[in-house]
Structure 1
């Protein structure tokens, strides 16, 4: 994958935090990977201080773990933790979809439709781009609910899952993501109809596919 890239001056700590967190969501760092503050600072073109601040913030959010004074690692989640994250997403993203059906604007709906079409096209040839667009679809849906606390929590759940999702998709056969039966189409249909219960059920059914990841992790753990 590409480098993080230099960042502009300004609120460096927030920008560094966003850059590292986005890289975690994208699966740039695999579970258990060690992050070195000095190397990240060089890559981003900043001093060590904002990187350290961003790292500590991510540790407090459980996206990273500190095993010693200078040993920072990407969380290697357990199956039970992933199941808990999926439960949180089930409820929060479901509630967001319910509210979005009442609050969504035409530009919101157009953005979701565009993301889904781009996702469908990428699914056949570019799994990494498809994964990014899938996440953007979920985030756009939650944003349409106008519930910032739910949005922040959902973002954190995706940050925790990012490193594992990339490994999972590289290991197991892909779903038929390009199919017109994909649950995102049911979400869009419900939103157009202002059907909150339908939108909630559709996104929860989509999230329910994550149980396969939990089962994969349990099998992986059993094999040692």
Structure 2
């Protein structure tokens, strides 16, 4: 069972929402996994009401689905849905990377380089941590672009596909994840060179690797 950090008393609904949403982004839940309001409330140390409010928000955002009043599940994306998300990410994160190449500050670039080193270390032994750091890398890139609308849209995409990205890290050979050919490295070089088109191409190529997740869904889709 996943263990979530206890929530402080102020602004409970928002904090509960942020906690569950972050767990989805980080792949702490499996596609199709059933969640219960009572269990989440116990883990977070809060009452049922803020958890219920957070669940309703996440259902509206299509990160969770409610099949009955007490039946809440992590959504299983269809191949078509994931392909659409990949297309959106291709264009929006590509534009964000191009803008980041022109705007990124040295400190932010160093932070991205540190995150990539952390990802390489985590990928060898901790898929959950690898998923978290990978997400953080992409979000920091979007922050460096200084495009808050793109950031918000991309964040919503990650809430839906986080569980699948975790499965990707679980099922991809470690040698691929820790390879010097990983897609983040050409991106980092493009950012350092302040080359917007190279940055765009690098992040789009990295996102394109997600095609294997679409293929996996197609192969395992119920008849």
Structure 2 match to 1:158: 158
CA displacement, residues 136-186 of structure 1 (integer Å, 9 cap, x when unaligned): 111110110111111111111111011222234334545612222212111
Moved more, 113-122 or 125-134: 125-134
Residue 124 of structure 2 corresponds to residue 124 of structure 1: yes
Classify 1:184/1:168 alpha carbon distance in 2 versus 1 (closer, same or farther; 3 Å): closer
Runs of 5+ consecutive residues of structure 2 not aligned to the other structure? none
Indicate whether 1:38 and 2:46 are aligned.
no
Would you say the 8 A contact 2:65–2:74 is kept in 1? yes
Distance 2:168 2:125 in 1: 17
Task: Find the counterpart in structure 2 of residue 79 from structure 1.
Answer: 79
Normalised by the length of structure 1, the TM-score is 0.93
Contact 2:27 2:131 in 1 (8 A): no
162-171 or 16-25, which deviates more: 162-171
Decide whether the 8 Å contact of 2:123 with 2:174 is kept in 1: no
Q: Deviations over 1:87-107 (max 9, x none)?
A: 111111101001111111111
Q: CA deviation at 1:122?
A: 2.4
Q: Quickly say closer, same or farther: Cα 1:39–1:122, change in 2 above 3 A.
A: closer
Runs (4+) of structure 1 exceeding 4 A deviation are none
Q: How many pairs align?
A: 223
Give 2:69's aligned residue: 69
The residue number in structure 2 matching 1:56 is 56
Deviation at 1:127, TM superposition (A): 2.9
Match of residue 183 from structure 1: 183
Q: Which residue of 1 aligns with 2:12?
A: 12
CA RMSD of aligned residues (A): 1.6
Q: Any stretches of 5+ residues in structure 1 without a counterpart?
A: none
CA shift, 1:34, in A, is: 1.8
Tell me, in whole angstroms, the C-alpha distance in 2 between the residues paired with 1:36 and 1:2: 12
Structure 1: how far apart are the matches of 2:68 and 2:127? 35
